[in-house]
Amino acid sequence: MAKEDFYDTLGVSRTATEAEIKKAYRRMAMKYHPDRNPDNADAEEHFKEAKEAYEILSNSQKRAAYDQFGHAGVDQSAGGQRGAGGFSDVFGDVFNDIFGAGGGRQNFRGADLRYHLDLSLEEAVAGTTAKIRIPVSVSCETCDGSGAKKGTQPVMCTTCGGHGQVRMQQGFFSVQQPCPHCRGTGQMIKEACGDCHGEGQIQEHKTLSVKVPAGVDTGDRIRLSGEGEAGSGGAGAGDLYVEVQVQRHDVFTRDGSNLYCDVPISFVTASLGGDLEVPTLSGKASLKIPDGTQTGQQFRLRSKGVKSVRGGAVGDLMCRVIIETPVKLSKKQKELLQEFETTLQGSGSKHSPKHSSWLDAVKKFFD
């Protein structure tokens, strides 16, 4: 009986890429593998056909011979060269692509580090250069980073045979993973270095300059590439992430690009109006208070806020007026206030509109 065309067996076109052929074979193998179809001769035959087709088409030289001469060009070399484990091998290839598994010592990128940087509001708004001191791992000079006692050398790991990888089999899945005994290095240390205790690295501190851009706020992060933990096996270092925390300010509160502050004024200024001098982050500014100002009213000073690090217009400074009640009055001051209060009686809502409206609301409530 004539063999089916290998491309038809896998259900791919003659121009299919290597990845498309692998994907098609994996699909066929999952469907027809004997472990999933016990005592099913038809499924076993389909699996053998798919396996044979994949062995030819996944090899560039064999595929070229097959494309030119058909089955006659590969009959001498077709017979099961990948062995009975072909299904596991192709899945091993897939998992190797995903997890980076493979023979030899594993190289691991260094871990990222995080540092909390406290800034004053002024520093966050204007930007600054901060000096920070961080702990880092560096190669141990005593053992030259080997982790072994001076005068000795690491030996080959007996668990993985120096490959740094072990194969785990579950059903028809075969997955490689770093050796649990040598942690992927392929080597074991019999006598550990007394300084680094077999780690090959020791802890030191280094000072870095961090350029903080203007307009940062709490929660913003500054990334310093390559300033994290050192990598192993020649791999690159991790990154350092500096997280900004803006300290509480005695005068201002920040919300996005706007600043807020409370401005205490006397009841005389609130009644008669006047000009006040208020602080801003860039100096002093004049704030005009109209007569009859009530406590809690807000006044806006445009462009006296913050320009965010993310761009956009400069925010505003919002000044909330707090009318301050005088304390520790003298006898004369109290008499003057009582006399002033007498002049207001009988004026209804003319001088105290909020008080009058409040009394009306209370009366309506009880009625």
Name the pLDDT band for 231 (thresholds 50, 70, 90). Answer: confident
265 pLDDT exceeds 90? Answer: yes
Give the whole-angstrom CA distance, residue 6 versus residue 25: 11
| Higher-scoring residue by pLDDT: 70, 75 | 70
Give the whole-angstrom CA distance, residue 232 versus residue 56: 39
Q: What is the pLDDT of residue 93?
A: 47
Name the pLDDT band for 219 (thresholds 50, 70, 90). Answer: very high
| Type of residue numbered 124 | A
| Higher-scoring residue by pLDDT: 204, 276 | 276
CA angle at residue 79 from 74 to 82, to 5 degrees? 110
Give the whole-angstrom CA distance, residue 31 versus residue 47: 8
Q: What is the pLDDT of residue 81?
A: 39
Give the whole-angstrom CA distance, residue 147 versus residue 129: 37
- Render pLDDT for 71-107 as a digit per residue (tens, 0 to 9): 777 764 434 333 334 444 444 444 444 444 444 445 5
| Higher-scoring residue by pLDDT: 187, 301 | 301
Query: What average pLDDT score do residues 214-221 get?
Result: 94
Q: What is the pLDDT of residue 246?
A: 95
Task: For each of the domains in the chain, give its residue range(s) and CATH number, in order of start.
Answer: 6-99 (1.10.287.110), 113-246 (2.10.230.10), 253-325 (2.60.260.20)
Q: What is the pLDDT of residue 194?
A: 85
Task: Decide: residue 72, CB within 10 A, 0-12 exposed, 13-18 middle, 19+ buried.
Answer: exposed
Tokens for 110? 């260094």
Name the pLDDT band for 346 (thresholds 50, 70, 90). Answer: low
Q: Give 74's contacts (C-beta < 8 A, 6+ positions apart).
A: 56, 62, 65, 66
Cβ(252)–Cβ(126) below 8 Å: no
Name the pLDDT band for 196 (thresholds 50, 70, 90). Answer: confident
Sort strands 258-266 and 317-324 into parallel, antiparallel or unpaired: parallel
Cβ(244)–Cβ(218) below 8 Å: yes
Query: What average pLDDT score do residues 145-154 get?
Result: 83
Share of the chain above pLDDT 90, in %: 34
Q: What is the pLDDT of residue 46?
A: 87
